[in-house]
Amino acid sequence: MRFFMAEVVLDPRAVKGLSRLADDLDAVGQRCAAARVSRWLQPLGNAGPAAELRILTFRLAKADGWDAIGRAIEAISPSAAAEPVTVEALWSAYERLPGAAAAAAAWRQLAERAGGAGGLALAAECVGLGALPTDAAIAAWNARPESDRRALGILALRHAPGLRPLAEAALAGSVAGPDGSVLDSMRSAGMVAVDIGARGLPLGDVPLLPAVATVVGIDADEAAMARLDAAYRAVAGWHDLRPVAAAVGERTERRQLYLTRQPGLASLLPPDPETANLLGLGDAIAVTGTLPVETVPLDAVLRPLGLPHPSHVKLDTQGTELEILRGAEPLVRDQLLSVQVEAEFRPIYRGQALFGDIDRFLVDRGFEAVLLRRSLRRLGTGDREVPSRLELCWCHALYMRSLRDFLARRPDWPAIVRYCTVAMAYRLSDRALLLLGHPAVASAHPAAHSFAEGLRALARQWPDVGGSQGREISKDGW
């Protein structure tokens, strides 16, 4: 470093060289390294606007708290404060650091620094709503003009996954239902949803569920569960979050947790190197160590919480999904309304069940597959100059109890609301309305008609649903 700084002082050509190096590093995604090079130039007065942004985004990415974020914002120019890269870096910090009130203060500081440019005032307000108690935040959200409400929802959707439950709650709270609002009806149904493998954002793909249900997030990583609790418990929109550190399996037993280079790929099953390398996952799934753990069945995790039986379970546990479902057989057979599960089409882990095994298990217990989100990759031939189709590797599948099976159980009104809530969370309004319009439901439950009208009004406010809105059929091409 001293050598480079001396060169900068003695030879102006070194300034150009270092600036070019920073640009090259930035272009290939090495932003931290680019920021370090830019910091060498700054004390000598050679850091231009691009270098200032690199330094700022580096500081925001490395900050360990909102005090450090505030100091970084205080040191930047107004023009840098309004840059999109600055805003994106602060959104990333918002998802990473706990402290809703401190986050709101940082956003207001950035908006003031930028003079209100770049839509920062609305972003600051969005984050500020997240720091309020939920009911107050919903009321303030819905008090805004319709255009502002839509803009707030887009901000949450694009930039702040932690605020998406608030956006969903505000939308459902603005629509009349049989018990006040649709939100009130859904909350009063006593729904419990479980996310097993919840390292990041529990049920992040379906934020309506965290807005109305008690969400139990389970993962073997104790530190991840502590971060989850700190990050989202105080954020408006989350109805009731219960993080639990546990390793869930088919039975109580001692096992080894295989730690991997990419933490999210850790599993109770050893990786299959041949398949992993074929799919280009060899480095990410390489085992870095093992950790002895005691697995317990799902019921043993939930029982101490004193909650009603869950209606929805999401599983993303790197190959042990069927083990967990088998260990929760009575719950799957008698209580669950829906299951979202990650399933592989080829064995990335040794001894794991594949999609066909999981599908048969659930179908035999009254479920049907209704959504499939596929992940496809090229095979690891190393010959990327030759064009090739991508191949199936794994998927996330949603199973719901079939309407025939559900109705045969003569469900009460809260169970019907919970079923409709899951359907609406996944934007399956047809399924919810078919249930509410069934003669057995409509004749036994007078609230079914007004609830259906509320769900129709709610669905009309959704943006385009996966490109299929208004279409009767869709199919993939070969």
| 394 membership: H or E segment, kind and range | strand 391-401
How many residues in the chain?
478
Residue 426 has pLDDT above 80, yes or no: yes
For the chain, the straight-line distance linking the first and the last C-alpha, in angstroms and rounded, comes to 55
Tokens (6 digits) for 433: 């309305």
Q: Are strands 287-296 and 192-196 parallel, antiparallel or unpaired?
A: unpaired
Beta bridge pairs of residue 292 = 256
pLDDT, tens digit (0-9, with 9 covering 90-100), for 56-108: 777 788 888 899 888 888 888 888 888 888 888 899 888 888 888 899 999 99
Q: What is the CA radius of gyration of the chain?
A: 25
Q: Which residues contact 176 (CB under 8 A, 6 or more apart)?
A: 182, 450, 453, 454, 457
Answer positive or negative: Cα dihedral of 269, 274, 276, 279: negative
Which residues are 193's β-sheet partners? 215, 312
Return the SS3 of 47: coil
Name the pTM for this structure: 0.86
**264 is written with which tokens?**
């999210």
- Rounded alpha-carbon distances, angstroms, from residue 399 to 217, 345, 371: 20, 17, 7
Q: Which of 138-142, 156-160, 455-459 has the lowest mean pLDDT?
A: 156-160
Q: Kindly tell me if the per-residue pLDDT of 19 is higher than 60.
A: no
pLDDT in tens, 101-112: 899 999 999 999
Enumerate the H helices of 204-310 as residue ranges: 208-212, 222-232, 273-278, 298-302
